[in-house]
């Protein structure tokens, strides 16, 4: 019993290598494009959230200044209400900042960096 296994020719090996490299490059380009879209969307959201955050901070500051000015005048009931509004605005500022930090991470192309790191390790023979 003889098995007739033929080794691939040089031409077939080169063709297979080119096909594999083309597929890998195509997948990496797709990943970069998808992360580029995500980064663009994240940047737009960061700008929008920064605007909202700055508005909330401005209104809180405005209310605090108004309360300080009005405290000199008289009514403590209005002061309490104004402090609650200012505190609420400051409270809303924290989730806005947390969202900005979360979306900022998308601007660094994390999946592309991981993929390139894996590719670099594969070329060194560290990962199979």
Where are the extended beta strands (E) located within 5-113? Answer: none
Domain membership of residue 80 (yes or no) is: yes
Domain membership of residue 16 (yes or no) is: no
pLDDT digits (tens, 9 = 90+) for 39-87: 889 889 999 999 999 999 888 888 887 776 676 566 667 777 777 777 8
Contact (CB, 8 A) for 85 and 63: yes
Domain membership of residue 25 (yes or no) is: no
User: CA–CA separation, 27 vs 36, rounded Å?
Assistant: 14
Mean pLDDT score, 21-44: 89
| Residue 80: predicted pLDDT | 73
0.75 exceeded by the pTM? no
User: CA–CA separation, 19 vs 107, rounded Å?
Assistant: 31
Number of structural domains the chain divides into:
1
Domain membership of residue 45 (yes or no) is: yes
Domain membership of residue 23 (yes or no) is: no
CA 100 to mean position of chain CA atoms: 9
Give the three-state DSSP class for 79.
helix
| Residue 51: predicted pLDDT | 93
Q: Which range marks the domain in which residue 56 is found? A: 39-122
pLDDT digits (tens, 9 = 90+) for 91-103: 888 998 898 888 8
């Amino acid at each position: 019993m003889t098995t007739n296994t033929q080794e691939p020719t040089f031409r077939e090996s080169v063709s297979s290598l080119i096909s594999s490299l083309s597929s890998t490059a195509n997948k990496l380009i797709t990943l970069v494009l998808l992360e580029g879209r995500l980064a663009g969307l994240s940047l737009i959201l960061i700008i929008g959230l920064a605007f909202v955050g700055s508005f909330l901070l401005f209104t809180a500051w405005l209310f605090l200044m108004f309360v300080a000015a009005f405290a000199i005048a008289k009514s403590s009931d209005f002061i309490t209400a104004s402090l609650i509004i200012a505190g609420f605005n400051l409270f809303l500022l924290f989730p806005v900042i947390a969202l900005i930090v979360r979306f900022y991470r998308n601007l660094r192309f994390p999946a592309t960096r991981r993929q390139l790191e894996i590719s670099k390790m594969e070329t060194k023979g560290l990962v199979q």
